[in-house]
Amino acid sequence: MTSTLVRPARAAVPLDPSVPLPVPLDDPRLATPALLIDLDVLDSNVARMAALAGRAGVALRPHAKSHKSLAIAGRQLAAGAVGLCVATVGEAETFFAGGIVDLTLAYPIHGDAKLRRLRPLVAAGALTMVTDSIEIAEGYSRLAVDAGEDIPVLLEIDTGMHRVGIPPGRAGTLGSQVAALPGLEVVGLLTHAGHAHDVLTQPEIAAIARDEARLLADARDHAERAGLQITVVSAGSSLTAPYLTAADGITEIRPGTYVLNDLRTITCYACTADQIAASMLTTMVSVGPGRAVFDAGNKTLTPTRIEQHGYGYPREIPDARVGRLSEEHGVLQLPDTEQLVVGDRVRMLPVHICAWMDLQREVYGVRGGEIVSRITVDAMRRSI
Ligand SMILES: Cc1ncc(COP(=O)(O)O)c(C=O)c1O
């Protein structure tokens, strides 16, 4: 008996590359789930944060993990961003290969398997690195010596998230130890106040931002008393950046999510519904009493759930909510007044857009109700 080898289609993207644009959202050639980006909303988000940074007198270094796309980074840089922040070696490689030569890798990088991949970036003077320990800094020092170029280093300060970072009082001691290693130049301080996601009111978020500034000023004091020259003080996420200015001693902000926004950002008062640029276009594949089932489950939308919005909800049916997800099925709970039929297409809002983008090879720019551009997610799954 002979068997026939069946090869799957090459490009697993929703819209075949041969289909000419523009394409209406109900075009049968567009498969779902497809991640859509409203380009007008994207552009206004980019412009708004650039203006905010300008008014605050701080540099803007967007965190690229939220979009992972050279095309979107290009829009941020064109609007005045000084460079990008990245979280992984793979992201750093991707954006450097795309021509971006001012990158801060805001993650402690450990081990030669990862460090050696950064050699070309260091040799080009394109990389600032971050540490909260002498062990991590020793790896950076070996890399700098090998690349023949000094590495600018930021000390990570814990301003309340209790993830990574040293207490402000240790900035002088650790800073001096790091600065004594060959090839390393301690140039500043960095913090991320991610715990702003855990509070329930706007005044509490403002208070966290005030702590960010106060504790960084304290750390700077310790570092300068130890003889270090601090020129970079980097803080501020999409949630806390609006409360930080140069007058607080901050020199740059690193918001990420703001570029597309999501339901977590709304919940933390950092955007409004019409500032969410992303949605997942889905198709109803089964309907039952009070529910409709669509073709995106937790492998696409991710299992992330928040108290206020569950797994998300559809843009156009605010009283409905995504009540349940299996791997490939999403269950939409519908109000009595709403009836959907098999084949209806509905756009779901993201709970956490950064996780959605990481899973997409290609997303689609929408203007005037039509897909007008294909946007490559260049650093998709580049988490190593
Ligand atoms: C180190 C660091 N900087 C900046 C950001 C950006 O935060 P947001 O996406 O809330 O703006 C993050 C987000 O995880 C981060 O980890």
Of 362, 356, 357, 355, give the one whose Cα is nearest residue 376: 362
Q: Which atom in ligand 1 lies closest to the alpha carbon of residue 258?
A: 11
Cβ of residue 106 lying under 6 Å from some atom of ligand 1 = yes
**Residues 96-120: tens digit of each pLDDT:** 999 999 999 999 999 999 999 999 9
Best mutation site among 254, 267, 276 for ligand 1 pocket (most ligand atoms within 8 Å of CB): 254
Alpha-carbon dihedral sign for residues 14, 16, 17, 19: negative
Q: What pLDDT shows up at residue 12?
A: 81
Q: What pLDDT shows up at residue 235?
A: 98
- Name the residue with higher pLDDT: 336 or 124: 124
Mean pLDDT along residues 226-233: 98
Q: What pLDDT shows up at residue 194?
A: 97
Tokens of 372: 């007008």
Mean pLDDT along residues 185-194: 98
Averaged confidence pLDDT in the chain: 96
Cβ of residue 195 lying under 6 Å from some atom of ligand 1 = no
- Give the pLDDT band (50/70/90) at residue 2: low
Mean pLDDT along residues 65-69: 98
Supply the Cα-derived Rg of the chain in whole angstroms.
Answer: 23
Cβ of residue 255 lying under 6 Å from some atom of ligand 1 = yes
Separation CA 333–CA 320 (nearest Å): 6
What is the β-pairing status of strands 184-190 and 151-156? parallel
| pLDDT surpassing 80 at residue 4 | no
**Residues 213-225: tens digit of each pLDDT:** 999 999 999 999 9
Which residue minimizes the CA distance to atom 14 of ligand 1?
194
Mean pLDDT along residues 44-65: 98
d(CA 255, ligand 1 centre) in Å: 6
Q: Which atom in ligand 1 lies closest to the alpha carbon of residue 254?
A: 4
Q: What percent of the chain has pLDDT over 70?
A: 97
Mean pLDDT along residues 127-136: 98
- Give the pLDDT band (50/70/90) at residue 251: very high
Which residue minimizes the CA distance to atom 16 of ligand 1?
192
Q: What pLDDT shows up at residue 11?
A: 57
- The secondary structure of the chain, three-state, reads CCCCCCCCCCCCCCECCCCCCCEECCCCCECCCEEEEEHHHHHHHHHHHHHHHHHHCCEECCEHHHCCCHHHHHHHHHCCCCCEEECCHHHHHHHHHCCCCCEEECCCCCCHHHHHHHHHHHHCCCEEEEECCHHHHHHHHHHHHHHCCCEEEEEEECCCCCCCCECHHHHHHHHHHHHCCCCEEEEEEECCCHHHHHCCCHHHHHHHHHHHHHHHHHHHHHHHHCCCCCCEEEECCCCCHHHCCHHHCCCEECCCHHHCCCHHHHHCCCCCHHHCCEEEEEEEEEEECCEEEECCCHHHHCCCCECCCECCCECCCCCCEEEEECCCCEEEECCCCCCCCCCCEEEECCCCHHHHHHCCCEEEEEECCEEEEEEECCCCCCCC
- Give the pLDDT band (50/70/90) at residue 308: confident
Q: Which atom in ligand 1 lies closest to the alpha carbon of residue 239?
A: 10
Give CA separation, 301 vs 11, 107, 160, 194, in Å: 20, 25, 29, 22
Cβ of residue 237 lying under 6 Å from some atom of ligand 1 = yes
pTM of the model: 0.96
Separation CA 79–CA 65 (nearest Å): 18
| pLDDT surpassing 90 at residue 291 | yes
**Residues 5-20: tens digit of each pLDDT:** 676 655 589 999 999 9
Cβ of residue 256 lying under 6 Å from some atom of ligand 1 = yes
Q: What pLDDT shows up at residue 318?
A: 77
What is the β-pairing status of strands 330-333 and 345-348? unpaired
302: left (phi over 0), alpha (psi -120 to 50) or beta: left
Window from 5-9, 131-135, 258-262 with minimum mean pLDDT? 5-9
Cβ of residue 165 lying under 6 Å from some atom of ligand 1 = no
Which residue minimizes the CA distance to atom 2 of ligand 1?
192
d(CA 194, ligand 1 centre) in Å: 7
Best mutation site among 158, 192, 212 for ligand 1 pocket (most ligand atoms within 8 Å of CB): 192
| pLDDT surpassing 80 at residue 193 | yes
Tell the burial category of 291 from Cβ atoms under 10 Å away from its Cβ (0-12, 13-18, 19+): middle
